[in-house]
Structure 1
Amino acid sequence: MKSDINFSYLIFLSVVAALGGFLFGYDAAVISGTISQVTTQFQLDQIQTGWFVGCALVGSIVGVLFAGQLSDRYGRKITMLIAAMFFSVSGIGCAFTGSFDQLVVARILGGVGIGVVSIVSPLYISEISVAHYRGRLVSLYQLAVTLGFLGAYLANYQLLHLSQSGVEVGSGWIHTILVSEVWRGMLGLSSVPALLFFFVVLFIPESPRWLVLRCRNDKALDVFQKIYLHGQDAQAQLNETVSVVQSENKSDWKFLFQPGIFKAVMIGAAIAILGQFMGVNAVLYYGPSIFEEAGLSGGDALFSQVLVGLVNAVTTVIAVFIIDKVGRKKLVYYGVSGMVLSLLLIGFYFRFSASLGLPNSFLLFFFLLYVFCCAISISAVIFVLLSEMYPTRIRGMAMSIAGFALWVGTYLVGQLTPWMLQNLTPAGTFLLFALMCVPYMLIVWKLIPETTGKSLEEIERYWMKK
């Protein structure tokens, strides 16, 4: 199959779109290194500090709500350019802001960019991919997100080291951004990959399936001919796409509520929000606090969190290479089973470590095992499934609904985890996370078809028959 397609061209298109995921990860993670500095400079109280941390999430929810409509109406490429503009303006605004209110506005704009790329980047990759490689190509987006996290941590570390080294770096605003108020440099650095993202998106074509939807079949065939090395394969793919799109004779909203399609949308929303209540964000965002609760020192807790981040990134690389060989559903079965075991043993540690004298290495091992199982299953699979489950006509709109559910779940977990750790105890919290894995597994087992190796048109026909 690989010899029949222009695989290097597919990789290029996928990497360009996945760069939006890097911006997502960087913008979400960079905030961790700026909180204390911004709080001190603007003399923030606890509520204002919480608003500074969470305001980007509000922007993400807004962005995800209109991303689908934008991409369905104006195209995937234009929507990615819009997201790049939001990221660029946000980064520059954060670097040169004159007040806390202006900083919040800039962070919200960055959040809008996060919400938009979380929909349109995996959607675009899915629509330009061929069936046998779609899983690994869409997984590049999730890999880019993890690399964005890692990039933010490294940038924060290097910029802070530079500002504290005593080396004279420029004067005026340059000195302010890189030395005296280095948080500006941390937040503003996102504008560099954002501008790169904007520039490279200009050189990729529009999604051929969206072009078919807009009756631009000649342009769609041009794109397919760049992907498929044999003209008859490109024409066959175009004919199949046209055939399926022409069968969708209802308006977007009526089509969305067609029984089989509505079922797919609700299933996508369910796995999107349930995935957040299985503990992944609690581990990634509150890991240091959880490790300190277990008795680790502050430095050891941060080092343990670095290990969590490295395992997350390396495992995502593995997932990219095996997702199309093992299959989406099998990865979920194996990975979520490992997550349940890990969560139960983490809960066991917090409940009985004092009486049994369990070492801290016990907790760290099962934390890392949990991250491995999560990264190789639900984290790698979720954006692949959401990008390929829905018909072309309403793919953007349906992904916005699922994306909204995902971001609401992220917000709720972020708000509730500190409360749960205090009131349910860490042992009770991780037991709850383990229980939430059960409905996720049942939904994937009973309600979602195996999509590995199937074209988007074949998947669409499955839901239409339902």
Structure 2
Amino acid sequence: MSEAKRVITPNRNDGRVTTRLVAMAAVAALGGFLFGYDSAIINGTVDAVREQFGLGSGLLGFTVSCALLGAALGAWYAGVCSQRFGRIRTMLVASALLSISALGCGFAFGVWDLIWWRFVGGIGVGFASVIAPAYIAEIAPSKARGRLATLQQLSLVSGIFLAFLLSAMIAWLAGGAAQSAWLGLEAWRWMFLTLLVPALVYGILASRLPESPRYLVEKGDDEGARRVLIDVVGMEAGEATENKIAEIKATVNVERRQRFADLFGGKFGFKTLVWIGILLSVFQQLVGINVIFYYSTTMWRSVGFQESDSFMISVITSVTNIVATIVAISLVDVVGRKLLLLVGSAMMTLSLGTMAVAFAQAVTVNGELSLPGSWGMIALVAANLFVVGFGASWGPVVWVLLGEMFPNNIRALALGLGAAAQWIANFVVSTTFPTLAEAGLQLAYGIYAGFALLSFLFVWRLVRETNGRQLEHMTL
């Protein structure tokens, strides 16, 4: 059969889900675990770092969110690095940067030193956040791609849970996050140092993964791609495999590297599909989800909860996030991506609006804010419903879409750009939250509710369904 014929005839059987394939996807998804762990570990350190270095709201917000600037930089260069040097080497870079950051933050001697190491760790998080969905999408059969891709989000929320749990345990054992613990180091320093273990494990396991077949084809290694498609993806040797290689060749440029200029060509600069990816990423952050994970301990203390209660609330919220993500895994390949996003946007709009109303009832008691009557419980329930709405939809589905919605010839760079936009939006939200909180939590959550409503309209009008489509059939 000629190569032209192979390109014309779609490859209906693009592999099966094997134990080895799931294991590989799980290892790649450890990048998501580190993403979540690094993002959440700062939560338990916020008040202690404020006291240790005497920080005001502005500098505290920057200390928390500076990692997001690094993540934006890392996300962009992850696309470049993965396209030039491969998906596996990009994972190893992420592991190294996060390991260095864990040590630097744990032994930081001043706020600017801490900010620098947070920035370095952010670059590693950016690398990890991009390469996991890209790699999983490129090794997964289309019929199971959604479920396998959501492993990243499951790993992410598991990382958030473990970070919250360990922070609570360390703070409890030390008598508070600012208190001295083992070897004379404060508890908050140990919270940062715990990141070293999963970062090293990720690097060791990633080094044993085979390279993506699409990257191998692009680099001219057809034989290597053939082995991965047969041994890992589960395709039958012979015509089916040769058809798949021909399809990949037809959708990548084997004669030159991808260039940033490939993303341009639309009416507003970037191609329309690239803009949709950027806006998906931005809306995912503008609903304020990471405020829950970065500041929840401080937020609940600000309205009358004790530190121990605030830590426990954060742990409960992270468990809720895990359960919601498991729901998303079971539904994403059944009901599709678009419907999940629409339902999630509706739930987030209602729950965020309820939180805004609840926080508007706050009163001052003995010089401290408190939520009277049942308003504290209403706010807590609404916050967890918000996490459910996000965790079952926008959390995992955006990463699934970013990993699969772009054609092969621009996927690496477009995914990197979309992820960079996500981190920049995350930075804006996280940096502004302390100032908005001082003006009133009802203002902050009212704004986030407005963006949740806008996200519903955006998905309804512009986002295309990708469920069941092979990567080689994605078009601009």
Query: Same fold by TM-score, threshold 0.5 exceeded?
Result: yes
1:142 shift after superposition: 1.1
Matched, 1:322 2:331: yes
Matched, 1:211 2:216: yes
Matched, 1:337 2:343: no
Distance 1:249 1:433, change over 3 A: same
Q: Bigger CA drift: 330-339 or 285-294?
A: 285-294
Q: Which position in structure 1 is the counterpart of 2:247?
A: 240
Matched, 1:263 2:272: yes
Q: Deviations over 1:88-143 (max 9, x none)?
A: 22223334556655444333221110111111111111111111111111111111
Matched, 1:279 2:288: yes
Q: Bigger CA drift: 92-101 or 142-151?
A: 92-101
1:378 shift after superposition: 0.6
Distance 1:33 1:253, change over 3 A: closer
5+ residue gaps in structure 2?
1-11, 364-370
Q: How does 1:60-459 map to 2 (within 5 A)?
A: 60-96=71-107, 101-163=112-174, 178-226=183-231, 227-231=233-237, 232-245=239-252, 252-259=259-266, 262-292=271-301, 294-351=303-360, 358-423=374-439, 425-459=440-474
Distance 1:162 1:282, change over 3 A: closer
CA distance in 2, matches of 1:418, 1:91: 25
The answer as to whether partners of 2:138 and 2:212 remain within 8 angstroms in 1 is yes
Is the partner of 1:345 in helix, strand or coil?
A: helix
Amino acid at match of 1:30: I
Is the partner of 1:449 in helix, strand or coil?
A: coil
The answer as to whether partners of 1:163 and 1:179 remain within 8 angstroms in 2 is no
1:182 shift after superposition: 3.8
Amino acid at match of 2:287: M
CA distance in 2, matches of 1:282, 1:37: 18
1:327 shift after superposition: 0.8
1:391 shift after superposition: 2.0
The answer as to whether partners of 1:291 and 1:301 remain within 8 angstroms in 2 is yes
Q: Deviations over 1:150-195 (max 9, x none)?
A: 1112222333445569xxxxxxxxx985554343332222121111
CA distance in 2, matches of 1:204, 1:247: 23
Amino acid at match of 1:394: I
The answer as to whether partners of 1:177 and 1:183 remain within 8 angstroms in 2 is no
Is the partner of 1:377 in helix, strand or coil?
A: helix
1:35 shift after superposition: 4.0
% identical equivalent positions: 32
What TM-score comes out, normalization by structure 2 length? 0.85
Amino acid at match of 2:391: A
CA distance in 1, matches of 2:97, 2:298: 32
Aligned residues: 451
The answer as to whether partners of 2:98 and 2:199 remain within 8 angstroms in 1 is yes
The answer as to whether partners of 1:71 and 1:120 remain within 8 angstroms in 2 is yes
1:382 shift after superposition: 0.9
Q: Bigger CA drift: 347-356 or 334-343?
A: 347-356
CA distance in 2, matches of 1:208, 1:401: 22
The answer as to whether partners of 1:19 and 1:144 remain within 8 angstroms in 2 is yes
The answer as to whether partners of 1:228 and 1:234 remain within 8 angstroms in 2 is no
Amino acid at match of 1:313: I
Q: Deviations over 1:201-256 (max 9, x none)?
A: 11111111111122222211111111124224333322221222259999634432
Is the partner of 2:410 in helix, strand or coil?
A: helix
Q: Which position in structure 1 is the counterpart of 2:19?
A: 8
Amino acid at match of 2:228: V
Amino acid at match of 1:17: A
CA distance in 1, matches of 2:444, 2:56: 28
The answer as to whether partners of 1:14 and 1:125 remain within 8 angstroms in 2 is yes
The answer as to whether partners of 1:210 and 1:392 remain within 8 angstroms in 2 is no
Distance 1:401 1:349, change over 3 A: same
Distance 1:248 1:314, change over 3 A: farther
CA distance in 2, matches of 1:3, 1:68: 25
The answer as to whether partners of 2:31 and 2:132 remain within 8 angstroms in 1 is yes
CA distance in 2, matches of 1:103, 1:438: 37
Which of the pair is proportionally richer in helix? 1
What TM-score comes out, normalization by structure 1 length? 0.87
Q: Deviations over 1:322-346 (max 9, x none)?
A: 2111210111111211112222233
1:57 shift after superposition: 2.4
